[in-house]
Chains A and B, each alone.
Chain A
Amino acid sequence: AQKITQTQPGMFVQEKEAVTLDCTYDTSDPSYGLFWYKQPSSGEMIFLIYQGSYDQQNATEGRYSLNFQKARKSANLVISASQLGDSAMYFCAMREWFSQGGSEKLVFGKGTKLTVNP
Chain B
Amino acid sequence: DAGVIQSPRHEVTEMGQEVTLRCKPISGHDYLFWYRQTMMRGLELLIYFNNNVPIDDSGMPEDRFSAKMPNASFSTLKIQPSEPRDSAVYFCASSLGDTTNEKLFFGSGTQLSVL
Give me the interface of A with B, judged by CB distance under 8 Å.
31-33, 35, 37, 43-45, 47, 50, 52-53, 91, 95-97, 102-103, 105-111
**Which residues of chain B are within 8 angstroms of A106 by Cβ–Cβ distance?**
33, 45, 104
Q: Are A108 and B89 in contact (CB under 8 A)?
A: no
Known: A44-B108, A95-B102. 7 other contacts (CB 8 A): A33-B100, A33-B101, A44-B107, A50-B103, A103-B102, A105-B33, A105-B48
Contacts A43-B109, A44-B106, A45-B91 given; does A105 touch B100 at CB 8 Å: no
Interface residues of B (CB under 8 A from A): 33, 42-43, 45, 48, 55-56, 89, 91, 93, 98-109, 111
User: Which partner residue on chain A sits nearest B31 by CB separation?
Assistant: A103
Q: Knowing A105-B48, A108-B42 touch, does A97 contact B105 (C-beta < 8 A)?
A: no
B-side contacts of A33, CB under 8 Å: 99-102
Whether B100 lies near A45 (C-beta < 8 A) is no
Chain A, Cβ-Cβ closest to B111: A43
Asked if B98 and A52 make an inter-chain contact with CB atoms under 8 angstroms apart, the answer reads no
- Residues of chain B within 8 A (CB-CB) of A102 are 55, 98
CA–CA, A106 and B106, complex, Å: 12
Could you write out 24 A-B pairs with CB less than 8 Å apart? A33-B99, A33-B100, A33-B102, A37-B106, A43-B111, A44-B106, A44-B107, A45-B93, A45-B104, A45-B109, A47-B103, A52-B100, A95-B100, A95-B102, A102-B98, A103-B102, A105-B45, A105-B48, A106-B33, A106-B45, A107-B45, A108-B42, A108-B43, A110-B42
